[in-house]
Structure 1
Amino acid sequence: MRPKLVATDLDGTLVRSDGSVSPYTADVLAKVEALGVPVVFVTGRPLRWTEEVFEHVGSHGLAVVSNGALVWDVARHRPHLERPIEPALGLEMCTLLREALPGTVFAVETLDGIGLEPEFLERHRVPEGARRAPIAELFDEPALKLLARHEELAPQEFWDAAEQVVLGRLVITWSSSTSLLEISAPGVTKASTLALLCADLGVDAADVIAFGDMPNDLPMLSWAGTSYAMADAHPTVTQAASHVAPGHDEDGVAQVLAGVFGL
């Protein structure tokens, strides 16, 4: 049976290595939307980076951002749903993480942008005017995402150690090539927020086809009725998905969708 909704990650999945969405992929997405099938971007990117690809969001106009912490209404340019971390819980976890893993530094993402501790070495250009302050000052309102970085521990080592500290009180995931943990509110994942969106649209999990490449995609791929790991995905993602798509630089998502929908 033909899927009723497409859910796709962006970086390493839909978006090419140069940051672009190819004309072929854009054309396929538009044709799928024209069939009445929503294509929903489900990304770990913050809002400020997701806006770069909103031109490819169809008439439904919804995107799942910051690993499920935000559903953004593109057409109305406003939040449709927010699932943030409360400051008290977030700061408690920061204290515990720093005590257990000295050298951990933090940043927070809100609708207003990113705030970083002075020692936080960001790998991407920081927006002009971004706040720099200790985490106790930055975390003064609910945050869509808490970022934890370590310059010495390997990514998997950092993640495993952090899980032993947090013990499920927040959701920790990872989608970077560096030791950067992405931390969300309790129960917030790409899957749990996508499930809420699909419930609003009257779409069952069995009717969703999903694409991803990194550990933060695992809940979504496990939830969707049909799941694809990209050819160059993280090994855990390849193991979890039911199918493998060509790589993101080969327009793998578009190739699969063209076949599934007979385009």
Structure 2
Amino acid sequence: MDPTAYALVATDLDGTLLRGDDTVSDRSRAALARVAEAGAQHLVVTGRPAPRVRTLLTDLGCGGLAVCGQGAQVYDAGADRLLWSVTLDRELAETALGKIEAEVGQVYAAVDQDGVDGLTLIEPGYLMPHPTLPAVRVGRRDDLWEAPLSKVLLRHPYLSDDELAATARGVVGSLATVTMSGPGTVELQPCGVTKATGLALAARHLGLRAAQTVAFGDMPNDIPMFDWAARGVAMAGAHPELKAVADEVTTSNEDDGVAVVLERLFPAVL
């Protein structure tokens, strides 16, 4: 596919577009400006819920759509509203969590509430993988289920993310979709919901197709997005499962890996 054929650029945030300090480099900003100048669209496709990306989208000048919550939310940044969202049934979430703990012992849980002002709640013992993201600590697990939620986040005292995710997939079945989106981040979300389902909805809203899309990511939760898009680009530090299905591996997020590829696909206008 020639460089000008891409009309949609879908980027994950953590470990992909963002550097370790949660900032976007000047080079990456310039590359995204090239995308806009070429008439293409940039879509953030992230596991973070809408309230946790609002400030970042404003900083990037993104006033359009973003796919949040692992695909559970399509957020209109300009209007500060959700065009579409799906929640995880709280009874199913509790049941799934019980099945996981029956296999691996106690896990520590957090939830992202639904809505543009939804909170991230964490139970005692849960440590936020991203300490810069705001969270509210509750006194007991039952407090996690008080409002509609988009996903549950899980951590285990000693199992690796891969081990916890594999066990969860084995016992949860159709109760929820299990994803792994970053270090210390195994998640339960509504069954059938992935970054690909959210991206497909947003693309349809924009009048764009999978065949026009190049996607960037770094973790197994990006695999459905790569399967959907015409081209998938993994970061140098990506999880091996994602690299195995990627069309290309770029440099790391610290070395402007997204920009390296976009500069090639969207040459500067002389």
Aligned to 1:5: 8
Question: Which structure 1 residue ranges, 5 or more long, are not aligned?
Answer: none
Structure 2: how far apart are the matches of 1:244 and 1:234?
11
Aligned to 1:25: 28
Cα RMSD (Å): 1.7
Aligned to 1:258: 263
Shift of 1:202: 1.8
Residues 14-33 of structure 1 deviation map (CA, whole Å, 9 limit, x = unaligned): 11122210112112212311
Alignment of 1:103 onto 2:93: no
Contact 1:39–1:57 (CA under 8 A) maintained in structure 2: no
38-47 or 28-37: bigger deviation: 28-37
Alignment of 1:150 onto 2:148: no
Q: In the alignment, residue 117 of structure 1 is paired with which amino acid? A: E
Contact 2:110–2:121 (CA under 8 A) maintained in structure 1: yes
Shift of 1:76: 0.8
1:171 to 169, 174, 177: 177
Normalising by structure 1, report the TM-score. 0.92
Shift of 1:99: 2.4
Structure 2: how far apart are the matches of 1:201 and 1:176?
28
Alignment of 1:64 onto 2:67: yes
Provide the secondary structure at the position in 2 that maps to 1:174.
strand
Aligned to 1:233: 238
Structure 2: how far apart are the matches of 1:31 and 1:8?
15
Alignment of 1:35-46 (within 5 A): 35-46=38-49
Aligned to 1:195: 200
Structure 1: how far apart are the matches of 2:217 and 2:74?
18
Question: Which structure 2 residue ranges, 5 or more long, are not aligned?
Answer: none
Q: In the alignment, residue 127 of structure 1 is paired with which amino acid? A: P
Q: In the alignment, residue 60 of structure 2 is paired with which amino acid? A: H
1:205 to 184, 197, 210: 210
Q: In the alignment, residue 104 of structure 2 is paired with which amino acid? A: L
2:19 to 4, 16, 19: 16
Shift of 1:48: 3.8
Contact 1:40–1:57 (CA under 8 A) maintained in structure 2: no
1:82 to 82, 85, 102: 85
Summarize the Cα distance change of 1:127–1:201 in structure 2 as closer, same or farther, 3 Å threshold. Answer: closer
Aligned to 1:92: 95
Residues 35-86 of structure 1 deviation map (CA, whole Å, 9 limit, x = unaligned): 2211000111233432342122445x11111211111111111112112102
Structure 1: how far apart are the matches of 2:44 and 2:134?
23
Shift of 1:125: 5.0
Summarize the Cα distance change of 1:231–1:131 in structure 2 as closer, same or farther, 3 Å threshold. Answer: closer
Residues 173-200 of structure 1 deviation map (CA, whole Å, 9 limit, x = unaligned): 112223x311110111101110111112
User: Share of identical aligned residues, percent?
Assistant: 36
Shift of 1:126: 6.3
Residues 86-131 of structure 1 deviation map (CA, whole Å, 9 limit, x = unaligned): 2121122122222222111211101321112223233425637x24
Alignment of 1:50 onto 2:53: yes
Aligned to 1:127: 134
Contact 2:233–2:249 (CA under 8 A) maintained in structure 1: yes
How many aligned residue pairs are there?
260
Shift of 1:134: 2.9
